[in-house]
Amino acid sequence: MLDMLEFVTFLLAPIAYGGLAVAAVRAVQRRPSRALQRVVATVAVAHVALVWTVRYGLQFSAATRKGYAGFLLFHAVLLAMVASAFVDERIARPLLVAAFGIVTLGAFGAVFVEPVVAIYRIPVILIALGGAIGLARAYRAPFTGPRVSREIAS
């Protein structure tokens, strides 16, 4: 039973990561999807909740055994992902892009160091490449959406 829970726990991570990549690209393209952002946040929260229970046995000392910096950073990223689904698009955009970058670094580290998630090495590499290419294209593309005049905005 524990093996199945561990499998589900770590299967949710690349699912959330792939969704985060798409959400970040769509946000930069100025075509955000609140529904997608909320699904991604929900999957990420489920993953973290399962990691806390299955992997760490709800023990803070186990969750911080590799240091507080990573613990705080990744929980801050989780908070940013959840917040991005509820805040204004102008705030959500940098939250999603930053979250994607930080999660990419963490995911690469995990799949090359932790044997339990090594099976996700190829999917993580593909998601990272797809997200990076999508973000690069989105940032390079001219914005063709509606412009808000300064008079209306103020």
Tell me the longest C-alpha to C-alpha distance in the chain. 61
d(CA 90, CA 50): 31
**pLDDT (tens digit, 0 to 9) for every residue of the chain, 154 residues total?**
668 999 999 999 999 999 999 999 999 999 989 999 999 999 999 999 999 999 899 999 999 998 899 899 999 999 999 999 999 999 999 999 999 999 999 999 999 999 989 999 999 999 999 999 999 999 998 766 655 444 444 4
Residue at 153 is within a domain: no
Residue at 31 is within a domain: yes
* Closest CA relative to residue 104, chosen from 126, 82, 89, 75: 126
| Inter-residue contact 25 to 74 (CB < 8 Å) | no
The owner of tokens 């806390």 is 52
Residue at 147 is within a domain: no
Domain with 26 in it: 2-141
pTM: 0.88
Residue at 119 is within a domain: yes
d(CA 128, CA 101): 9
Q: How many domains does the chain have?
A: 1
Residue at 151 is within a domain: no
d(CA 4, CA 85): 30
